[in-house]
Amino acid sequence: MQRKVLGIDIGGSGIKGAPVDTSVGELIAERLRIPTPQPSTPEAVAKCVAEIVEDFEWKGPIGITVPGVVKHGVILTAANIDKQWINTDAAALFSQATGNPVTVLNDADAAGIAEMRFGAGKDRAGVVLMITLGTGIGFAVFNNGVLLPNVEMGHIEMNGEDAESQASARVREEQDESWKQWAGKVDHYLDRIDNLLWPDLIIIGGGVSKKADKFFPYLSTRAELVPATLLNEAGIVGAALAAGRIVS
């Protein structure tokens, strides 16, 4: 069982990476963050990933998250990265760029894996949702600790539009909304999800999770609601766990 694994989390605005002690779910070095290149083509992002690997002088397995559906290392959707990613074999691309074995998975799935093992979802049975509010809306579903991968419910219809275009953290910043205004949209989105999946627990992640006190008081959805405990490091930790074969 691999103990130390490099995790890299590719987001719409930043690419973050650090070595992780997968036995405890903690970073063992200060994370390195590089702005996501624009346009975020496969070649440009792979170059940034290689830079992170080189900075840590890493040799060994690497886990990498991407904001899209991933099946057998191939990216099938690209909501917040360049459309050239669609049908790209990301596992092969990153392996070639870094010279290391690479496991690629959906970013919200990775965050959820970390929270279920070490964070707010630890030892929780029933249906648990991990929802990350950032550049977009990431979504992961667990039933009794088992992941159902690639559930992209950040893109459900809400008020005739994509929910992500209304309730992501980026929207709040771009539209300079108050926490209360934005929370109203998030609450509506959570109600839609609750009516569809009837979760026992919803974990809110992404960078905004560290400011839960600003908007949680305005949320009234039925399910138990908690902020992620690994905050914005969950993607890195979950990617490392996946690559370290700690989870299937």
Cα 236–Cα 242–Cα 244 angle in degrees, nearest 5: 100
Domains and CATH numbers, the chain: 4-109+233-243 (3.30.420.40), 122-228 (3.30.420.40)
The residue type found at 129 is: L
Q: Report the b/e string of 110-123 with b at 16+ CB within 10 A.
A: bbbbbbbbbbbbee
Structure tokens belonging to residue 218: 């305005």
Nearest to 216, CA basis, from 231, 201, 228, 227: 227
The single residue listed with the structure tokens 């909304």 is: 177
pLDDT digits (tens, 9 = 90+) for 196-216: 999 999 999 988 999 999 999
* Per-residue pLDDT reduced to its tens digit, 130-182: 999 998 999 999 999 999 999 999 999 999 999 999 999 999 999 999 999 99
Residues near 120 by Cβ (< 8 Å), separated by ≥ 6? Answer: 201, 203, 226, 227, 228, 229
pTM for this one? 0.93
End-to-end CA distance of the chain: 13
